[in-house]
């Protein structure tokens, strides 16, 4: 168990809808990263937050947004969903410089858009 919790584990929704994915980082971790992994693809970096502030942005669509709350949990909002948004969405956390070197991953949320 990595200590990173993602909910829900599975999500099936229709095109055009909006969903929210939730991530609780390891206790004390300040950094949260979101990744998208399409079928048989690598991990595409979406966005990173550090202690509530957006720190880095990757190839995140304008239809997607994220935030990190004061209790450090994070949410990824996906709107106007398309079939191509079907993927495994990972959240990872780390303690930041000086504490941990690697990112610890949650189990992922599998999103299916029908």
Partner 1 sequence: AQTVTQSQPEMSVQEAETVTLSCTYDTSESNYYLFWYKQPPSRQMILVIRQEAYKQQNATENRFSVNFQKAAKSFSLKISDSQLGDTAMYFCALRMLSSYDKVIFGPGTSLSVIP
Site membership for partner 1, residue 88 (CB under 8 A): yes
Site membership for partner 1, residue 53 (CB under 8 A): no
Among 17, 56, 77, 99, which residue sits at the site for partner 1 (rule: CB under 8 A)?
A: 56
Closest distance of CB 82 from partner 1, Å: 22
CA atoms of 15 and 3, how far apart (whole Å): 32
Q: Give residues 1-30 in contact with partner 1 (rule: CB under 8 A).
A: none
Could you tell me how far CA 41 lies from the centroid of its own chain?
Answer: 16
Site membership for partner 1, residue 92 (CB under 8 A): yes
């Amino acid at each position: 168990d990595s200590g990173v919790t993602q909910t829900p584990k599975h999500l099936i929704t229709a095109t055009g809808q909006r969903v929210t994915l939730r991530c609780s980082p390891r206790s004390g971790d300040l950094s949260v990263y979101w990744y998208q992994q399409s079928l048989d693809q690598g991990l595409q970096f979406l966005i990173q937050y550090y202690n509530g502030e957006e720190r880095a942005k990757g190839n995140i669509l304008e239809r997607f947004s994220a935030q990190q709350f004061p209790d450090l949990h994070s949410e990824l909002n996906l709107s106007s969903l398309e079939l191509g948004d079907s993927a495994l969405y990972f959240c990872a956390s780390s303690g930041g410089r000086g504490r941990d070197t690697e990112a610890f991953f949650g189990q992922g949320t599998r999103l299916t858009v029908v």
